[in-house]
Structure 1
């Protein structure tokens, strides 16, 4: 329940859904609960057997299945999600605004956030998840308020079910605009899991208007209301795909590409460009060149998206997405999703640790953190707590990367992650720095990823190694040798005898062309470490199948810095 989740996030030990003690190694600085908009309050009523639920045939079915617990309950939860995705949920279960339980749960979510908000130490946000799921194609958004209860109690979450709600993001943005106008508050939305949208997340056409071209009004609204995108979470990493970035040796990181959310439609190669961060940013450049505004101008964040109330981001403390995937000797061998023909779509061992959002803010308060998110001064990590700085300008010098007052230098000489590079003479230079997680692994390298449009409008990308550890020397083709691997799967553990505790550089774009629109972001790669499956293998003394990943290279992604050519 909400208060359990907040206690856990601030560092308290709690008891998990399967009766296991669980605690974070380090408390989180800020936290938000994003419960689903549609059917808010219905699950507790289904489990509790509320009279209106038991009067409905589908309600009685799910009441029985959920209360059976274990594997039966997990399969029932997946069945309910699939039914919702295909529009087959009974109205008795799909709670909407106007239902007393809906308002009651929203009021309790607000109350819990207020109880645990401790500015300066542990900040909580009032939030929810808008659960658009068109025929299984994921378009979820986390809706985050800057405000407290005096404003958020004036509304209830917008849903995706007509006639009260809509699955179209344009209608969500209109609702958000109305919220600000009516309450004087502030709100933003964060899309996630484009990798399960089957080509809808960064589509360059309007999928709600029979594929009509997107217009400037759409682009302006999306840029205004959605300044961030969730690049990584428990349902796979979303930076890029190896088929989209074949020259990127780190592209195939925890890739999910079986299909859409409920496995009702297979993935095709044509869908991929509209599903990942890097190609989405490239689509934004193309849109800006055509319409004069970039719909996909977003900073990067990470999150958990667990459904257990537990959000540990560490591989040695992985508690899974669902109750059935909390620690056990058999959780890595489950068939998690199947296609209609019964073939396997997803195995449970493919879930990953939740990501984290890092925000550069002036204080640990709602206002300051929300403002940092709004201006896109954020970065995502796949779980570790690296410190990452990324600035762009035209006057950085190599010595700036060695400064202990690096932030002062960065802000005074340039712009920060999430911003636009101002016009100027000469190629841009970038100041980038990363400090390892003090309880984690050393760093392998820092890379700068560039995406741009050439003179014909073709979308291009290139990855530059700009700082690395261990005195390695690039080969004749400019490729950096691997950092090595110290992982011992028998323990499991690793040693920080390779890699570096900190890395930094000033890098100037050698391929600069002032006529070409471009974006740049930093990617920080750790040395190899054991994956959660490796810890399970030792803890439970089980042998994992050959196709189960046991080693990972965790990473961080900064928000981009954009360059837009000057028009005549």
Structure 2
């Protein structure tokens, strides 16, 4: 091998400076001179290198309910805020995010699209209808009258008793509907900046039969050329219906007609009274059969597991041995609390239980309809994607910062209420994508390489394989080994080639401006030979040299929250946690899934920030501190 000495290199540099022709080696001349793996660990990389942060669920004043509650901000305001600009809220308050997002899906409701701006403006077509006039007068009066009018609109919507003339004027085929859809599409295109910020075209399909939440958000991979060939589907008859199968048909037709790509995300199963994740039971007039499981698996690769209306990972009734399952649960009733919750409904509402049910349905039909990735979103109806506790602007305009919002119920009926202090400042979705573009991020959703957080920007890697060992953590770039020796979150384990149990590489890094980490857990679910479904939560790595007690439980990390100042210190916990964990209870004959839950140390909830800023007296039951968290998408194992 010919050596290239330092003195020779110096000679070449010197000669070029003296006016001689500079020799620039071609790619052909250097090819083969270096090993296959370049010295630079960043050269030739094709793996996703950093999480891209975004929100899959946000409403502007174009949405029926958001506009009725007084949101006057449109898509342009929402996009500018997500990109890091300062805006003024509908209540006149200046705000911006601590850090811009990388991407977002704007998901205004499709039913009565275009009605809200006309209601606010008092258009003649709205005022000509007695109900329209009543709602406009309430909206114009403001305060309690406006809230009453907004809830009456929502009640008429859920009961499918909207005035026929208004339905006809703001449904597919009407000019106002088409104009609003074009406005949504063009705004996304205006703000889409490939490589810097990705603006997705989307919408929310708002199925709520009997007040049971079956909503789905839809995200398109495409731009205006394809999106404007169609109009989005609705749920109000005779223009649409509330069965998810009708949405699946729309998605099928969209792809066939335009050559585009689309996916749907369900959310808030906790408000569906058991209908979100059906098994062999009928649901809303439909049946869980082979067609249903195939379509759901095809069109819903992702689930919104945490948001403003409650956290949907787990419930203490379903997971009594999980000390952290009781987190921001909304379990009073359905969406409008016209029916109270009973324990038998909970199994069809929470993500962990759904992942287990999916194993059973796969054994029955050969397809797992609940094989989804995890994500978080705000579902804010203020046009403001705020998931930071100290910067929380509420669910709707009526819940924007004020001295009274903590005491103002989100929903109230004769049967119960969702109190204002139970609203959740959650969450965001992190995507492991190769580029900040529509195509790369959409493809990451399809392969389920996503994870949810309740707001903090925790960096989380999770890989599964058959031969990870402790030496694989002796690097600052665990992903290189993770992709080489295993598969990332959202994947199926590669075929088993030995008698080994699966091993997993987990790496979590705290939000740079957030709280330290308490612990990392692996949640496992599996189906035994008799068809019974089981789960277990393992503490796999933790901070502060704690040791599990005789009951196997890890002692609490502690609490540094200053209740008088609404702050905390990072004097406990760890800035990063990493481990290689091997399943000690593995049975190769049992189908299983694994996902990671990362817990922060205790920090203030938004309610404590409000208490300090407004000097409030709060209800005794108001939660003031919590442990924020992240949920990875699962990794699945199948014996076959």
TM-score range, shorter chain: over 0.9
Q: Tell me the SS of whatever aligns to 1:126.
A: strand
Contact map agreement 2:275 2:283 (CA 8 A) in 1: no
1:188 paired with 2:263, answer yes
1:274 paired with 2:354, answer no
Question: Shift of residue 93 of structure 1?
Answer: 3.1
Contact map agreement 2:338 2:415 (CA 8 A) in 1: no
Greater alpha carbon shift after TM alignment, 42-51 vs 281-290: 42-51
Question: Shift of residue 377 of structure 1?
Answer: 0.3
> Considering only aligned residues, what root-mean-square deviation do their CA atoms show, in Å?
1.2
1:50 paired with 2:116, answer no
Name the residue aligned to 1:368. 440
Greater alpha carbon shift after TM alignment, 48-57 vs 19-28: 48-57
Q: What does residue range 448-467 of structure 1 map to in structure 2 within 5 Å?
A: 448-467=522-541
Contact map agreement 1:306 1:321 (CA 8 A) in 2: yes
Out of 190, 208, 214, the residue aligned to residue 139 of structure 1 is: 214
Question: Shift of residue 362 of structure 1?
Answer: 0.3
Name the residue aligned to 1:121. 196
In 1, Cα distance between equivalents of 2:435 and 2:124? 47
Greater alpha carbon shift after TM alignment, 270-279 vs 329-338: 329-338
1:322 paired with 2:396, answer yes
Question: Shift of residue 66 of structure 1?
Answer: 1.5
In 1, Cα distance between equivalents of 2:150 and 2:502? 51
Q: Tell me the SS of whatever aligns to 1:452.
A: strand
In 1, Cα distance between equivalents of 2:164 and 2:115? 11
Instruction: Mark the runs of 5 or more structure 1 residues left unpaired by the alignment.
Output: none
Contact map agreement 2:337 2:416 (CA 8 A) in 1: no
Name the residue aligned to 1:172. 247
Structure exhibiting the larger radius of gyration computed from Cα positions: 2
1:277-304 Cα offsets, whole Å, 9 max, x none, are 0001111001011111101110001001
Greater alpha carbon shift after TM alignment, 147-156 vs 69-78: 69-78
Contact map agreement 2:209 2:284 (CA 8 A) in 1: no
Name the residue aligned to 2:278. 203
1:78 paired with 2:156, answer no
1:406 paired with 2:481, answer no
Question: Shift of residue 65 of structure 1?
Answer: 1.1
Instruction: Mark the runs of 5 or more structure 2 residues left unpaired by the alignment.
Output: 1-73
Contact map agreement 2:274 2:349 (CA 8 A) in 1: yes
In 1, Cα distance between equivalents of 2:285 and 2:221? 35
Contact map agreement 1:443 1:503 (CA 8 A) in 2: yes
Name the residue aligned to 2:464. 392
Q: What does residue range 24-39 of structure 1 map to in structure 2 within 5 Å?
A: 24-39=97-112
Name the residue aligned to 2:625. 551
**Alignment length, in residue pairs?**
563
Question: Shift of residue 209 of structure 1?
Answer: 6.7
In 2, Cα distance between equivalents of 1:298 and 1:199? 18
Name the residue aligned to 1:517. 591
> Could you state the TM-score of these two structures normalised by the residue count of structure 1?
0.97
Name the residue aligned to 2:406. 332
In 2, Cα distance between equivalents of 1:258 and 1:509? 36
Name the residue aligned to 1:357. 429
In 1, Cα distance between equivalents of 2:255 and 2:97? 36
In 1, Cα distance between equivalents of 2:278 and 2:335? 17
1:40 paired with 2:113, answer yes
In 2, Cα distance between equivalents of 1:446 and 1:532? 24
Question: Shift of residue 346 of structure 1?
Answer: 1.2
Name the residue aligned to 1:3. 76
Contact map agreement 1:32 1:124 (CA 8 A) in 2: yes
Question: Shift of residue 353 of structure 1?
Answer: 0.6
Name the residue aligned to 2:579. 505
1:58–1:209 distance in 2 versus 1, CA, 3 Å: closer
> Could you state the TM-score of these two structures normalised by the residue count of structure 2?
0.87
Question: Shift of residue 399 of structure 1?
Answer: 2.3
Contact map agreement 1:335 1:344 (CA 8 A) in 2: no
1:381 paired with 2:456, answer no
Contact map agreement 1:71 1:324 (CA 8 A) in 2: no
